[in-house]
């Protein structure tokens, strides 16, 4: 990895602003690195070279004229292959969508382009975004940065790999049940799950529209804040002076620590100690209704996912990897009455959650209860795939079910992250807390 490609997106942006770095040279360097990388075909579904070079050239002219659009103007990023790109195939990791070419960019891509970000290309992902493991035998399974034999995490698997391997400065992903946070954690990155409804989903291939969110995968919390601003066409959170002193943090022991394996649990406890040393008040507690909420996941997620995709799946079922296809089909066992009742109950539980965690700055859990499993065994053992997938997504799903924003940070232990869950629409506050926690965790 060259010196520049090891830097954060914000550092690259500042270098461009100082005149120390050419956006056009930077884009060419990233594209050259991608073409030369032995796993490039497993990370990128397709490159958008002409677009990238044109956007970089425009960014360079703006920089020379002192008219930069944002701190990230001229910085190259990757996009998960469920964000529509005008005139370029967007297939959401599925053979069912092979040859699908949209006419317009997704809204968040359009916003990011207006902020000057350079689109390098589209990254591989789990089929239709419906698995947390990142395994996709039908198109490609990206490598894990810590061990190529392990699952990369999904569904934003290629997004994470593009950043972790130095092939993009940051990445755009999506999160319905953990699809940003799991690959971020397993590849030692920062991942932000935004509150449902915060960012526009127009031009994004859906999975479960009542839970789908857009989120960045980055090297730093600052980069996550900048990417969020680019996605929505707003201003980034002010992270200056962020501190953990006086912060009240609640360790959620209900469900989240059950069956948590030794590696992730030890990393989590070590991270908690460092947060406390930095001045945070760390408390432990429970929430009785959380177990019930988790039990509603089947009807809430699979019913809507199968309702959206049943026609396409059943028209050509052999185009899907069996375990993912069968996850969709689970939605067929529930009735409309089941779905309505589950949503009514979840809304009541969300209200109770808000009362329980009021007064805390964040709720903490291990990002995943497991470390990345063996990819080859996942592909050959359907029961293992199902069990590991459910356990991988269990903790992240808390944030989706409760309608929260959530941030995963590296703990310093490979592939083990710690998640901070904030209040709905509280991304700016969470990012400030995350910036302080990031410093403490690196100490």
Out of 206, 232, 258, a domain closes at 232
State in Å, rounded, how far the first CA of the chain is from the last one: 25
Active-site annotation holds for 179 = yes
Position 94 in a domain:
yes
Q: Are strands 406-410 and 190-193 parallel, antiparallel or unpaired?
A: antiparallel
216 backbone dihedrals φ, ψ, rounded to 5°: -90, 155
Cα(122)–Cα(403) distance, integer angstroms: 28
DSSP code for 249: E
Q: 36: domain range?
A: 4-232
Looking at the fold, whether 384 and 254 belong to one and the same domain comes out as: yes
Q: What is the CATH number of the domain that holds 112?
A: 3.90.1300.10
Looking at the fold, whether 73 and 168 belong to one and the same domain comes out as: yes
**305 contacts 205 by C-beta, under 8 angstroms:** no
Tell me if the bond preceding 344 is cis, omega within 30° of 0.
Answer: no
Cα(228)–Cα(42) distance, integer angstroms: 26
DSSP code for 150: B
Active-site annotation holds for 22 = no
Cα(121)–Cα(76) distance, integer angstroms: 9
Question: Catalytic residue among 70, 78, 156, 179, which?
Answer: 179
Position 346 in a domain:
yes
- Reduce the DSSP state of residue 175 to 3 states and report it: strand
Instruction: Give the distance between the most distant pair of CA atoms in the chain.
Output: 61
- pLDDT for 33 equals 97
E strand or H helix at 214: strand 213-218
Cα(68)–Cα(115) distance, integer angstroms: 9
Question: Catalytic residue among 78, 80, 131, 156, which?
Answer: 80
Structure token pair of residue 93: 């990791």
**191 contacts 221 by C-beta, under 8 angstroms:** no
Nearest to 50 by CA among 65, 79, 22, 28: 28
The structural domain count of the chain equals 2
Out of 176, 208, 232, a domain closes at 232
Residues of the chain under the 50 pLDDT cut: none
Q: Any alpha helices (H) in 97-152, and if so which ranges?
A: 107-114
Question: Catalytic residue among 22, 78, 155, 174, which?
Answer: 155
Looking at the fold, whether 183 and 285 belong to one and the same domain comes out as: no
pLDDT digits (tens, 9 = 90+) for 236-275: 999 999 999 999 999 999 999 999 999 999 999 999 999 9
- pLDDT for 443 equals 84
Number of C-beta neighbours around residue 172 at 10 A: 30
Position 168 in a domain:
yes
Structure token pair of residue 430: 């969470």
Cα(39)–Cα(53) distance, integer angstroms: 22
- pLDDT for 222 equals 98
Active-site annotation holds for 442 = no
């Amino acid at each position: 990895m060259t010196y520049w490609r090891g830097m954060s997106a914000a550092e690259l942006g500042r270098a461009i602003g100082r005149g120390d770095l050419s956006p056009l040279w930077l884009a060419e360097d990233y594209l050259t690195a991608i073409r030369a990388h032995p796993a490039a075909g497993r990370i990128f579904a397709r490159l958008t070279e002409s677009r990238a070079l044109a956007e970089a050239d425009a960014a360079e002219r703006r920089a020379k004229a002192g008219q930069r659009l944002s701190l990230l103007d001229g910085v190259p990023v990757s996009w998960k292959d469920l964000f529509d790109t005008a005139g370029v195939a967007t297939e959401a990791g599925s053979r069912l969508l092979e040859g699908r070419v949209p006419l317009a960019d997704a809204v968040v891509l359009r916003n990011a382009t207006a902020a000057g970000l350079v689109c390098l290309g589209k990254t591989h992902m789990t089929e239709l975004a419906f698995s947390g493991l990142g395994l996709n035998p039908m198109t490609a399974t990206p490598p894990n940065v810590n061990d190529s034999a392990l699952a990369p995490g999904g569904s934003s698997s290629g997004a994470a790999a593009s950043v972790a391997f130095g092939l993009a400065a940051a990445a755009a992903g999506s999160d319905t049940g953990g699809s940003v946070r799991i690959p971020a954690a397993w590849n030692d990155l920062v991942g932000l799950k935004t509150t449902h409804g915060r960012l526009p989903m127009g031009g994004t291939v859906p999975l479960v529209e009542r839970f789908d969110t857009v989120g960045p995968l980055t090297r730093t919390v600052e980069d996550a804040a900048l990417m969020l601003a680019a996605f929505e066409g707003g201003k980034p959170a002010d992270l200056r002076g962020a501190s953990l002193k006086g912060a009240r943090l609640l360790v959620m022991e209900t469900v989240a620590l059950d069956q948590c394996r030794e590696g992730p649990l030890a990393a989590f406890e070590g991270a908690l100690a460092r947060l406390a040393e930095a001045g945070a008040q760390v408390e432990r507690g429970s929430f009785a209704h959380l177990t019930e909420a988790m039990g509603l996941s089947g009807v809430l997620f699979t019913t809507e996912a199968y309702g959206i995709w049943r026609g396409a799946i059943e028209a050509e079922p052999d185009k899907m990897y069996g375990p993912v296809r069968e996850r969709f089909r689970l939605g067929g066992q529930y009735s409309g009455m089941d779905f309505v009742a589950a949503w009514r109950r979840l809304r009541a539980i969300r209200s109770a959650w808000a009362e329980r965690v009021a007064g805390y700055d964040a709720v903490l859990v291990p990002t995943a209860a497991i470390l990345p499993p063996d990819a080859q065994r996942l592909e050959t053992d359907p029961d293992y795939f199902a069990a590991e997938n459910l356990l991988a997504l269990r903790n992240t799903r808390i944030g989706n079910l409760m309608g929260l924003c959530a941030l995963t940070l590296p703990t310093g232990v490979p592939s083990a992250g710690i998640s901070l869950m904030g209040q709905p629409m509280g991304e700016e506050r969470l990012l400030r807390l995350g910036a302080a926690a990031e410093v403490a965790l690196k100490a």
